[in-house]
A and B are shown apart, each in its own frame.
Chain A
Amino acid sequence: MREVALPTSGTVWSWTVQRIEPKPPYKGPAEFEPFAVAYVHLDSLRVESPLAGRPVDEWQIGETVHLVADDIDDDGHAWRFHFEGGEG
């Protein structure tokens, strides 16, 4: 096992919309809001991630998206992340 630095932008490989609130241990906003989720192609890996920043059903396979890290801890790890449209 070794660490590999992935690029922070890639392309949408597939996507859907989560329209029903996931069961626990899902931690979302107090009032559930549907969100888009994708596999983002990042050269050597496809990473599953929420998508944000535009209406949930307006994504396209093949379009460019970039990483946005949320909740960064003291060691610099982001345990929540999402991708947004464009190069960033």
Chain B
Amino acid sequence: MSVSIIGVGLHPFGRFDISGREMGLIAARAALADAGLAWSDIDFAAGGSRDGGHADALVSELGLTGVPFISVYNGCGTGGSALLTASQAIESGAADIALAVGFDKHARGAFATDPSEYGLPDWYAEAGMMVTTQFFALKLRRYLDDHGLDPRLLAEVAAKALRNGSITPHAWRRNPFTADEIANAPMVNDPLTTYMFCSPSEGGAAIVLTSTERAREMTDRSVELRAIEFRSRQFGTFEVFSPSLAPTITPGATVDASRAAFESAGIGPDEIDVAQIQDTEAGAELMHLAECGFCEHGEQGKLILGGELDIDGRIPVNTDGGLIANGEPIGASGLRQVIECVRQLQGRAGDRQVPGEPRIAFTQVYGAPGISACTVLSR
């Protein structure tokens, strides 16, 4: 049974005076309203949050209907896991209408991590090596060197994100910066400056799903979830929090998840009209573009400098500013990507609308400890 999206809702991303749970509630209610449904119509829910509380506890406010509500906890993949769980409930016939919801509210600054939660010894963190931003820089410097890429591309990617964020009402960072300003900002982990990173933030996102058959009866603007694939890493990949690496690097979870999603949808990267790609920092977008098959490794310069990733380009990427402009509330971030694609496909993206009535979209999340979730969506 194929699955379609019939409602989406967001609480804006940024810093707010309300709790993470309240942002999740606002997003859930907005998604229900968008679908023209009530909470009592939902017969399956899945949701997650890293620091904002228990997703299943949202039933206290949404209503005690007895609905099965699965909480998921998958780091940056939390939104993807919630969507996968809800979509499988529809696909299997176990549920008619399902809700996926994610929300978060993180402390300022880089994530603090407990080594024991990742099965790592204390000395690794005590020595100052269990730092996500440091990993991104280590992976990126080697990648730039291997493929002869100019570090200047990082500033151009971040400038695009902030330019798109400046015209996106739900984005956190609304001030555009030039590539020069970004390149000359204080260095965090060389070659990445402070404006090239996303920051932990706050926000909520929710999606209502049903079967494609039912969706077509209910609305004329549903978006079909053509594929959703989740993968964890295989031996030899280069991941965050690795005290050591294998002497040869094998492709990461993003390669596996994106290939599986394209294969399952029967659609190739060259057919995608708009995409949201995990840009935890500017280099991640650069690497993920090639890992997802949008270009060859080392060919990113042409896409970036040629404006092909811009809103009016050949393959617009991170049209709402991505993680760099929205920050990363872990539970909500992956769902935000899907929601942005849904709005683009529905022609509801306002000032940042991709021209030419885009029909097919793609999303990709990547996170610790080496997981990726990818979707293909079509109108």
Contacts and interface: CB of A to CB of B under 8 A. Distances in A.
Contact of B134 (A25, A37, A41): A37
A10 B246 CA distance: 15
A45 B246 contact: yes
Interface string B109-146: 11011010000001101111111011001110110010
A50 B245 contact: no
A15 B144 CA distance: 12
A18 interface: yes
Given A19-B188, A23-B109, A80-B123, A45 B128 contact: no
B190 interface: yes
Nearest to B129: A48
Interface of B: 109-110, 112-113, 115, 122-123, 125-131, 133-134, 137-139, 141-142, 145, 186-191, 242-247
Given A16-B141, A23-B109, A45 B126 contact: no
A37 B133 CA distance: 12
Contact of A46 (B110, B129, B130, B245): B245
B142 A61 contact: yes
Interface in A71-88: 79-80
Given A15-B138, A17-B187, A22-B131, 5 more contacts: A26-B127, A48-B245, A50-B128, A61-B141, A80-B126
A37 B128 contact: yes
Given A24-B112, A39-B245, A18 B131 contact: yes
Contact of B244 (A15, A22, A48): A48
A16 B128 contact: no
Contact of A14 (B126, B130, B142, B246): B142
Interface string A18-34: 11101111111000000
A18 B123 contact: no
B178 to A, nearest CB: 22
A28 B189 CA distance: 17
Contacts of A57: 190
Given A17-B189, A37-B134, A26 B244 contact: no
A43 B122 CA distance: 26
Contacts of B186: 19
B110 A28 contact: no
16 contacts: A19-B189, A19-B190, A22-B110, A22-B128, A23-B110, A25-B125, A37-B134, A37-B138, A44-B247, A45-B246, A46-B245, A48-B129, A57-B190, A61-B142, A61-B145, A79-B123
